[in-house]
Structure formats: structure tokens, C-alpha cells
Amino acid sequence: MLSRSEGSVTAELAMVLPAIILVLGVCLQAVGALGIQLTNSALARQAARELSRGVDVSVVASSLSQANSHASLRHSTEGDLVCVSLSQSTGVGPLSWLLAEVQVRECVINAQ
């Protein structure tokens, strides 16, 4: 038979466990969003370099799609700069209401 203290420990654990799981889920999704940001930043920088050298947009979009099929590409030319923006959903999770999408923007000087 369980003593009173053993029963209260079980009840306290049952009350705290959902909060621990929620915090763990938020932390895991935050790390995933950081990974998406770092990866997309490198991809956007490479795409901007290629576009500044005069590579066709369809070729850059195709190579980007092979590297990350979930990211959407936008590009623009602003004076002497070629800018590439990538956006990607963070997925479903506890942070999705706060951080639904990761956006990165990289610009390089136009080489043409």
C-alpha cells in the first residue's frame, strides 16, 4: 500500500508533467527554427551570389528547390545590390502561433 507522501509525489508529477512536455516541445521547435534560419541564410547568400553573376533565375530556383524544397524564393535588384529572400514554415508545434514562418534576406553586390 502507498503511503501518503508517495501518493502526493505521484499527483504532483502528474500535474507538472504536461508543463514539462510543453517546455520541451517549445525548446525543440526553437532549435528547429534556428536550424532552418541558418540553412536558409546560407542558401540565400549562395543564390544571391549566383544571381549577381548573371545565372538565370530558373536555374537558381531549381538548385534551391533541390537543396530545400520547402523554402520559397523571392529576389530583387536594389541599385547595386542583388537581394534574395527565403521564407519557410516552421511546421506544427507549440511555437507555431508565435513563429509560424522563418524569413531570411541576403544581399550581395551585383557583379555584372
The answer to whether the CB of 80 falls within 8 A of the CB of 62 is no
How is the chain split into domains, by residue range?
5-109
| Rounded Cα–Cα distance for residues 42 and 60 (Å) | 14
State what percent of residues in the chain have pLDDT above 70.
94
pLDDT in tens, 3-39: 666 678 788 888 899 999 988 988 888 888 899 999 9
pLDDT in tens, 51-66: 999 999 999 999 999 9
Q: pTM of the full predicted structure? A: 0.78
